[in-house]
Amino acid sequence: MNCAVPWEQALMGRYILTPEIFDYLGEHQLSAGGEIQLTDAIQKLNEVQSVYAYEFEGQRFDVGEKFGFIETTIEFALKRPELRDQLLELFKKKLLEQKVLTK
C-alpha cells in the first residue's frame, strides 16, 4: 500500500470472522496504545483464505478520535428536527461569545 495516497476505504467495526482469525491475533506487534490490531490479523488471514467485505456508498464518520466524535454528533443532531434550531442557536451564541461572529 502506498502510504502517500489517502486510504479510501475503512473498516466499520462489524465483522463475521471464522475461528481461524485467532491463529493470527497476537502474532503482530501491539499498537502504540497497546491494542491488538485486528486489521493486521485479517490481512494475514486473507493470505490463506478468502476474506470478504461489503462496500457501500455513503458518508463515513471517524468517531475514534475526539474531534471526529464531536463532528459526528453535531452532524446527526442537525438532522433531527427537534434539535436543529436549538443547536443552531447554541452555535450562534458560542460564536458571538468567542467573538467569531458579530451581531
Judge whether 38 lies within some domain: yes
C-alpha cell at 42: 485479517
Whole domain around residue 76: which residue ranges?
Answer: 66-97
Per-residue model confidence as pLDDT tens digits over 52-103:
988 878 888 888 889 999 999 999 999 999 999 999 999 999 999 999 988 7
DSSP structure class, residue 29 = P
C-alpha cell at 84: 436543529
Interatomic CA distance for residues 69 and 8, integer angstroms: 19
* Same domain for 51 and 32: yes
Judge whether 1 lies within some domain: no
CB 48 within 8 A of CB 41: no
Interatomic CA distance for residues 95 and 101, integer angstroms: 5
Number of domains in the chain: 2
CB 27 within 8 A of CB 56: no
Query: Does pLDDT of 50 surpass 90?
Result: yes
Counting residues of the chain whose pLDDT is more than 70, the rounded percentage is 84
* Same domain for 45 and 71: no
